[in-house]
Amino acid sequence: MNHFINLTLSGLASGATYAALALSLVIIYQATRLVNFAQPALALLSVYTAYTVVQVTGSYWIGFASALTVGLVAGAVVERVIIRPIARVSELNGIIVTLGLLLIIQGGVGMVWGNEQHGLQYAFSYVGRFSPADAFALGSVAAVALLLFALYRYTPLGLRMRAAAFRPEAARLSGVKVGLMLTAGWGIASAIGALAGMLAGPPFLSPNVFDVVFVFGITAAVVGGLDNPFGAVIGGMLIGLGLTYVSGYAGPELATLAALAIVVLVLSVRPDGILSRPTARKV
């Protein structure tokens, strides 16, 4: 029983990381109908920036704030300068460009910081059944989800962002600056992706450290529903728990296969994801 409890607590903590990355993917997909394959690269850039700041200042929290700031700015710049002109021509072109950005940023990080591993501390101690670091991961992702809900539901900015994502032409006629709202959405999503990076990166950083995390993050987004931010959070928790149970009882080598099995099982019952509403298509 103790083993099951330990696995459950560990699964919730790792699921929080997958949920944060899935949430960043869903926000961008809602706004532009693009799956942003560059998201782990933007998170990587943010976390390496945090590593440098921590080395210079000796303060984890200054590095943490710098990671979120870099994520916010990098996401906004990528959308405004690179994605927007290309996505106007074709959504497929935009997806291919994000794949290219993933490779370019990973290569650039390796050139600047080197391909060897670098040590990055956790925010809190990582010792015990449910460590302070685990509690911080769960608490920070829960806080982000609640803040995002409040932003979309109760603020004029959130209303404009939703209008720009779902009814861009009507939003333009109502005076909403759709381009600015899309840029804001990319910035917020990339900041959340940077948070996921700060949770998943320690204790050792390398240019490819987020590859597996991204696979599980996009799996969580698909399971929860690419159109529903809270579905992404639930999907992340399900993936985290499922992978931890499989690793704990059957062996870690089966974790990736388990993620695929979860996707197949969920989508066979709910093709649009757990919380997404089925959409009718005219023929």
Complete domains list, the chain, with CATH = 1-269 (1.10.3470)
Residue 259: what pLDDT? 82
CA–CA distances in Å: residue 139 to residues 146, 224, 245 = 11, 20, 22
Is pLDDT at 91 greater than 50 in this prediction? Answer: yes
Is pLDDT at 111 greater than 90 in this prediction? Answer: yes
Q: pLDDT band at residue 93, thresholds of 50, 70 and 90?
A: confident
Residue 281: what pLDDT? 46
Is pLDDT at 137 greater than 80 in this prediction? Answer: yes
Percent of the chain with pLDDT over 70: 96
CA dist., res. 80 & res. 248, Å (int):
44
pTM of structure: 0.89
**Lowest-pLDDT range of 129-143, 180-194, 226-240, 265-279:** 265-279
Residue 256: what pLDDT? 79
Nearest to 38 by CA among 103, 86, 87: 103
CA–CA distances in Å: residue 98 to residues 34, 78, 104, 161 = 9, 9, 10, 22
128 dihedral zone (left: phi>0; alpha: psi -120 to 50; beta): left
Range 28-50 average pLDDT: 90
Residue 278 per-residue DSSP state: P
Residue 83 per-residue DSSP state: I
Strand partners of residue 205: 118
